Structure 1
Amino acid sequence: MQQWHFHPVVRLLAQRIGLGLLTLWVISLLIFVGIQLLPGDLADAVLGQSATPETVAAFRHELKLDLPPHIRYLHWLSGAVEGDFGRSLANQRPVAELIGWRFGNSLFLAGVTALIAVPLAVVLGLMAALYRNTLFDKLISTSTLSVISFPEFFVAYILIALFSVQLPFFPSIASITPDMGLGQKLYAVFLPCLTLALVVTAHMMRQTRAAIINILASAYIEMANLKGLKRMRIVVLHAFPNALSPVINVIALNLAYLVVGVVIVEVVFVYPGLGQLLVDSVAKRDIPVVQASGLIFATTYVLLNLLADILSILCNPRLRSPR
């Protein structure tokens, strides 16, 4: 009987993709169960106490609340796979239409932040490793550790106090509309981007520095030192390429944090993103929007983690070549 032999990379990628799909299924189950465990009856909460029993019954039938939980879950999951998340209870608009522009705004905020934070973090990490234990390294390490110690909303309020109140350079409310130009949008999102960039750059810089320093302890680096190569050449041309796997992993994980972790920053700056929509929908008990937003955030996080695994595998020579 013929046996199939797969390349180690293909086998590992298949395992990661399978685990990612399994994780998404578990998350969808947790989201649905968590919504069902909310106190009170959804129909009574939405319609109010003055609603007649007939109205409540019709509303429950419309939302399929009269069906068994497992039937409702399968119906919701199959619709979500097809891109149909139902209709919002607040305004009766399709949830997919309601979420589309908001999610695009969140991706725009995360993308602009990534364009600032990733190059800055990699350069600072390289410089800190190059000048290890110097005043520059200690200053950068202390500064990044201080930024990490503060929660995002605290950093956001400090920036608002500095650049919107004391020095009114930028707006404290990051309001954007579809008809705004790119320059206007960048000006509006400067403070939320700066807030996220400070936190994310600190994380990525410290991990980049640690990965490069770990590589610098290798035997081939010691051989390069004995040959008399300049330290800049050793770090940039020898250490950094071999530290790419953990660095790429850290960057991808922080990008996942950017997309998912924008909720607090969006609320502080009243930014019209998916995080702000999620908070508003929770307050209104708009369950279809809450479920869809949670699933989209979870899917984005899992996909970016999967991308981190794939890039780490492809950057690792031991996994790229057969054993």
Structure 2
Amino acid sequence: MTAELPATGAPFDGTPVPAPRLRDRLGTALPWRYVTRRLAGTAALLAVLSVAVFALVRLAPGDPARTLLGARGATPDALAAVRARYRLDEPLAAQYGHWLLDAVRGDLGVSIRTGADVTAVLGDRLALTVELVLLGFAVALLVGLPLGVLAGLRARRTSDRVAQSLGVVALSTPAFAGGLVLIYVFSLLLGWFPAYGTGDGGAGDRLLHLVLPAVTLGLAVTGVLLKLTRAAVIRELAREHVTFARARGVPTRTVLTRYVLRGTVVPVTTGIGLVLAYLLAGTVMVEQVYALPGLGQLLVSSVTFRDVPVVQAEALLIAALICLANLATDLLHPLADPRLRPAQTAPRRAKRQA
């Protein structure tokens, strides 16, 4: 039996070198300075988005005090009381500071329409939207990635043209139109799935009600993943090391799994981050079509009734979820491709000695 070679610079004495621990591997791929910079960038982006959300709602036509007062009599005394309660008589910078500080502490205000706590309202709707997004994401992966790999391997052939045509049709079909077609075929004609709602049974009944909405949401982004995967596969097939491996007679399956698919991880994961952002935005229309009480339906009704606290809180929540998805994508890149790992800086003591 041949002993494992020791690490560079270590004397060879025949003792096997232990494999690096998972913690050491993560530390090499994701140095704490790199992670800290990414977290700081995400926090700065969230701060900018919070300013944009607050400013856009405040710059909307109409008096915020009259909006908060609702259908009640807008007497001068009532308007003054509402302005004092919600600090609308203070400068915009002070209003933003109070709102952001309360949001960080988890206090998102009270709904104008229902009088319920906004944090509790969002918590009740968030679970359904997350389930819908995850199921739609699974549909997009299961359909888009295999079709993209097939189109890349069979580039400029009949199967490639068919796959690309299907992707274009799925991408160009509006969510409400695709949802209505699926409801007509699979609910009214075949009777396989429910047409609307979340059901009143257990987890199985809830999953059955979310099948058609998830398919509608996932098919809308399948074309994006298909195009990205196809382009990445074609680019990797043209690499020199792939050509050399095929010339040596390496089996096609080995070339595909070890070289081609590994090289497509980074561009595909970048596209996945964008797909997650699109899925979060697409839930607004899908939840309206299927009458699902999620964040999308709540946003539409809140904008209709000008429920300012709910609109602000939900816009900030969706922005935070998108930023977290992009952050996760940035942190996955160094783990997937060693070439993208940040360079290890030498210790300061070693630099001084040099």
Total equivalences in the alignment: 316
- Retained in 1: the 8 A contact 2:148–2:229? yes
Alpha-carbon distance, 1:117 to partner: 2.5
**In the alignment, which residue of structure 1 is the partner of 2:78?**
55
Alpha-carbon distance, 1:273 to partner: 0.6
1:13 aligned to which of 17, 21, 35:
35
* Letter of the structure 1 residue corresponding to residue 104 of structure 2: V
- Retained in 2: the 8 A contact 1:266–1:273? yes
**In the alignment, which residue of structure 1 is the partner of 2:130?**
107
Corresponding position: 1:214 with 2:256: no
- Retained in 2: the 8 A contact 1:256–1:301? yes
* Letter of the structure 2 residue corresponding to residue 188 of structure 1: H
Corresponding position: 1:144 with 2:167: yes
Aligned-partner SS, 1:311: helix
CA RMSD of aligned residues (A): 2.1
1:240 aligned to which of 261, 267, 277:
261
**In the alignment, which residue of structure 2 is the partner of 1:3?**
none
* Letter of the structure 2 residue corresponding to residue 273 of structure 1: G
Corresponding position: 1:23 with 2:22: no
1:285 aligned to which of 306, 311, 319:
306
**In the alignment, which residue of structure 2 is the partner of 1:165?**
188
Corresponding position: 1:40 with 2:83: no
Alpha-carbon distance, 1:7 to partner: 7.2
2:153 aligned to which of 127, 130, 133:
130
- Retained in 1: the 8 A contact 2:113–2:307? yes
**In the alignment, which residue of structure 1 is the partner of 2:5?**
none
**In the alignment, which residue of structure 2 is the partner of 1:316?**
337
- Retained in 2: the 8 A contact 1:281–1:290? yes
Distance 1:228 1:173, change over 3 A: same
CA displacement, residues 83-123 of structure 1 (integer Å, 9 cap, x when unaligned): 11011111111100011010111001111222332233222
Aligned-partner SS, 1:262: helix
Alpha-carbon distance, 1:131 to partner: 2.7
* Letter of the structure 2 residue corresponding to residue 44 of structure 1: R
- Retained in 1: the 8 A contact 2:170–2:221? no
* Letter of the structure 1 residue corresponding to residue 121 of structure 2: L
* Letter of the structure 2 residue corresponding to residue 191 of structure 1: L
Q: Percent identity?
A: 35
Distance in 1 (alpha carbons) for counterparts of 2:127 and 2:329: 22
Aligned-partner SS, 1:189: helix
Following TM superposition, the consecutive aligned residue runs of length 4 or more in structure 1 with deviations greater than 6 angstroms are none
- Retained in 1: the 8 A contact 2:118–2:310? yes
Distance 1:293 1:143, change over 3 A: same
Alpha-carbon distance, 1:176 to partner: 4.5
Deviates more, 1:201-210 or 1:228-237: 228-237
TM-score scaled by length of structure 2: 0.83
- Retained in 1: the 8 A contact 2:110–2:117? yes
Distance in 1 (alpha carbons) for counterparts of 2:85 and 2:298: 23
Deviates more, 1:308-317 or 1:274-283: 308-317
For the pair shown, the structure with the greater C-alpha radius of gyration is: 2
Distance in 2 (alpha carbons) for counterparts of 1:87 and 1:47: 13
Deviates more, 1:185-194 or 1:52-61: 52-61
**Structure 2, unaligned stretches of length 5 or more?**
1-26, 345-354
Distance in 2 (alpha carbons) for counterparts of 1:292 and 1:197: 26
Aligned-partner SS, 1:170: coil
Deviates more, 1:161-170 or 1:214-223: 161-170
CA displacement, residues 27-81 of structure 1 (integer Å, 9 cap, x when unaligned): 1001101011111112323434733221222122222222221111001101111
Aligned-partner SS, 1:261: helix
- Retained in 2: the 8 A contact 1:260–1:301? no
Distance 1:318 1:196, change over 3 A: same
**In the alignment, which residue of structure 2 is the partner of 1:299?**
320
Distance in 1 (alpha carbons) for counterparts of 2:127 and 2:105: 19
Distance in 2 (alpha carbons) for counterparts of 1:62 and 1:235: 64
- 1:240-279 aligned at under 5 Å gives the runs 240-279=261-300
Distance in 2 (alpha carbons) for counterparts of 1:119 and 1:47: 47
- Retained in 1: the 8 A contact 2:171–2:222? no
Alpha-carbon distance, 1:139 to partner: 1.1
Deviates more, 1:268-277 or 1:9-18: 9-18
Deviates more, 1:262-271 or 1:38-47: 38-47
- Retained in 2: the 8 A contact 1:20–1:306? yes
CA displacement, residues 298-319 of structure 1 (integer Å, 9 cap, x when unaligned): 0000110111111123222123
- Retained in 1: the 8 A contact 2:29–2:335? no
Alpha-carbon distance, 1:207 to partner: 0.9
Aligned-partner SS, 2:141: helix
